[in-house]
Amino acid sequence: MNLDTKLTHILGIGPTLAWRLEKLELLTVEDLINHYPFRYDDFSNISTTLDAKVGEKVTLVGEIWSIKNIYTRSRKILTQAIFNDGNSPIELTWFNQSWLTKNILVGDKLQISGKVSKYKNKLSIMAPVWEKLTDKLPTTHNSSLHTGRLVPVYPETFGLTSKWLRQKIASFLPQVLKEIQDPLPESIKDSMLNLADALNKIHFPQNYNDVDLAKQRLGFDELFYIQLATLKTRKNWQKKQVLEPLKINSKNLREFIKSLPFKLTSAQLKVIDEIIKDLQKDFPMNRLVQGEVGSGKTVVAAAICYLIFQNNLKSFFMAPTEILAFQHFSTLKNLLEPFNLKVGIYTGSKKKAQEADVIVGTHALLSKKLLPENIGLIVVDEQQRFGVEQRSFLRSKAKIPHFLTMTATPIPRTVALTLYGDLDLSIIDEMPKGRKIVKTFVVPNKKRLDSYKFIEKKVKAGDQVYIITPFIEPSETQTSVKAAKIEFENLKKVFPKLKLGLLHGRLKSSEKELAINDFKDGKTDILVSTSVVEVGVDVANATIMIVEGAERFGLAQLHQLRGRVGRGEKESFCFLFAENENSSVLNRLKNLERTQNGLELAELDLKIRGSGEIFGTAQSGRFNLKIASFSDLTLLEQTRNKAGQILKEDVSLDKYPLLKAKLAEISQEVMPD
């Protein structure tokens, strides 16, 4: 057995177990070794029934006196045993585990762990953890695996328990620890554990100090490799030679800005200035512009496309969907064609890009046929992963254009500097004057009918409504959660006189386009949708956003959904409904009532729920941290400094072959090439 051994090649792991392991993304022995506990049960208090106190977690050593299954009236199965540690008998109870009577027999010596309770004046332990003692009774917690120690508890899936994972990891770890080589150079390890020790202690610590030391090392690794990959990519990018530094005609730029039908904010002007400085360097720009929905990122990009045109170069403007591409096409035509720029479109359904100076489209723009030599700028709107993949494609070319990524996803600065360390960062932190504040309310379910009456009244006055659900169809395990298809049918009964539309990710492109266009054209009053609308659908007449199951969304994502309304002159509202109405859930959601600042909400998400909530489920896998946190500013700074130190010594990493190999292994997840 080695780290690369597939789990399916191990005796006892058949197709069903393999399928369950795959659900946890566990395919090899190495995957299993890197499947870390998320908490520990402290069963290190080895006690006796005489000393055990009610409410205390204890470990007892003794013998089974009796064990039997009892069938209740509600068809539940209780397994009850009498256990004696030589002092006083205690009752053990398990639920729906009838097979235990075949595994635990009268006379078996057991070590059990659990919380002591009292039932009918008798001591008992409900659902205790247990293990058989085949030889002499242990006197220290070092001799046991599931009891009598700090017991690791792992992320599980149906049919795959922590006990099974614990047994397998305990069996595999000693066999592979000797082959684990530590890639970190001694110069940056300082006093941290070596990798093998850290892995041993994270799974089977003797005490909480062991846990802390293991987390310190493994958390450092998680952030360090991200920092190393992004900083190395940045240095490689800067080696690329662009065409000559661009000439900037300030007078023409001022005339362009003056011609706009609105005044640019100081934040927009600041970002334009930062981009111009990039365009005047002798290596290609690689910049991320972050700004709220409606902060004016597209206008900034249009101004830069104009500067590129003045240097006799073309611009590509890429959007993640055809719907958004057509929206940008319309906006850029209005802004640029008065200045003699031709704007073209290139998507799956329309290809009118011949002789255009600015070509708007989807990722199809980067096909080899279309990418001309005189391309000076590529703008990518939204979808961070989409942007990374395109940058990877461009890195493979000898001559590459300037590159500008834009996002409305609020990303805390610390996270952006870590995950997008290969890009320079600009933030449009000011909204244009006159932008309406969306009045936001967390609504108790008892007021649902009132909200429906409010909707009906507003629609009769000419307004339109979004109703967002977490799922497309009902889930077998989440039966109470509202799903778009079912809610669409239910709401047709609630609003029989109104016209409803349905939008979700499984519709064909043509069906999505029809649903959105019908809503834009006022042919539907209410659009029932999943969060697919959070990017790029602009309907000035939409004034109400209702989010069902709001606690299932991150605050930053809810903020983006809210940004779909309030885009016209009318007063706008966002109503948040939660399935779970406990105080902690409602208090988290009430942050949206308090602030309209997306970055502030993203920071809160980061502290409360982790990085996956910033990027949504489609992105969270790529940024998944098992131990480290993007809110740990000290560790972020430490890992960035250490990565910079290594690259300063040797940017090729030839001096550090283990580190170079490790980086190559994980770079596809962090920074695909």
Same domain (yes/no): 136, 52: yes
Same domain (yes/no): 532, 576: yes
Strand residues in 227-370 grouped as ranges (E) = 286-291, 314-318, 343-346, 351-352, 358-361
Residue ranges in the chain modelled with pLDDT below 70: 134-143, 240-243, 349, 353, 367-372, 383-399, 475-480, 534-537, 609-624, 667-673
What's the full length of the chain, in residues? 673
Q: Which CATH number do you get for residue 82?
A: 2.40.50.140
* pTM of the predicted protein model: 0.72
Same domain (yes/no): 17, 159: yes
Query: β-strand 500-503 against 526-529: which pairing, if any?
Result: parallel
Residue 172 within a domain: yes
User: Which ranges in 24-109 belong to alpha helices (H)?
Assistant: 29-33, 100-103
Same domain (yes/no): 557, 462: yes
Same domain (yes/no): 381, 483: no
The predicted pLDDT at position 432 comes to: 80
Q: CB of 525 within 8 A of CB of 455?
A: no
Residue 575 within a domain: yes
Query: β-strand 57-71 against 77-84: which pairing, if any?
Result: antiparallel
Half-sphere exposure for 492 (CA within 13 Å, toward CB):
9
The predicted pLDDT at position 591 comes to: 94
Q: Which CATH number do you get for residue 391?
A: 3.40.50.300
Same domain (yes/no): 14, 143: no
Distance CA 357, CA 427 (A): 27
Tell how far CA 76 is from the center of its chain: 39
Domain count, the chain: 4
The predicted pLDDT at position 115 comes to: 92
Same domain (yes/no): 333, 303: yes
Q: CB of 59 within 8 A of CB of 47?
A: yes
Residue 59 within a domain: yes
Q: Which helix (H) or strand (E) holds 562?
A: helix 555-562
pLDDT tens-place string over residues 279-309: 999 888 989 999 887 888 999 999 999 999 9
Residue 324 within a domain: yes
Same domain (yes/no): 452, 390: no
Residue 646 within a domain: no
Q: Which of 595, 620, 639 is the last residue of a domain?
A: 595
The predicted pLDDT at position 384 comes to: 57
Q: CB of 132 within 8 A of CB of 123?
A: no
Same domain (yes/no): 10, 114: no
Domain membership of residue 400 as a residue range: 250-281+296-407
Residue 169 within a domain: yes
The predicted pLDDT at position 611 comes to: 58
Same domain (yes/no): 451, 342: no
Q: Which of 180, 197, 220 is the last residue of a domain?
A: 180
Q: Which helix (H) or strand (E) holds 117?
A: strand 109-119
Report the candidate in 332, 303, 553 with the shortest Cα–Cα distance to residue 428. Answer: 303
Q: CB of 147 within 8 A of CB of 131?
A: yes
Q: Which of 595, 612, 644 is the last residue of a domain?
A: 595
Same domain (yes/no): 144, 158: no
The CA-based diameter of the chain, rounded to the nearest angstrom, is 94
The predicted pLDDT at position 670 comes to: 52
- Beta bridge pairs of residue 109: 63
Residue 264 within a domain: yes
pLDDT tens-place string over residues 365-386: 776 555 667 889 999 887 555 5
Residue 105 within a domain: yes
Q: Assign 647 to helix, strand or coil.
A: helix
Same domain (yes/no): 102, 23: no
Instruction: Provide CB contacts within 8 A for 602, sequence distance 6+.
Output: 410, 411, 412, 415, 555, 556, 614
The predicted pLDDT at position 583 comes to: 86
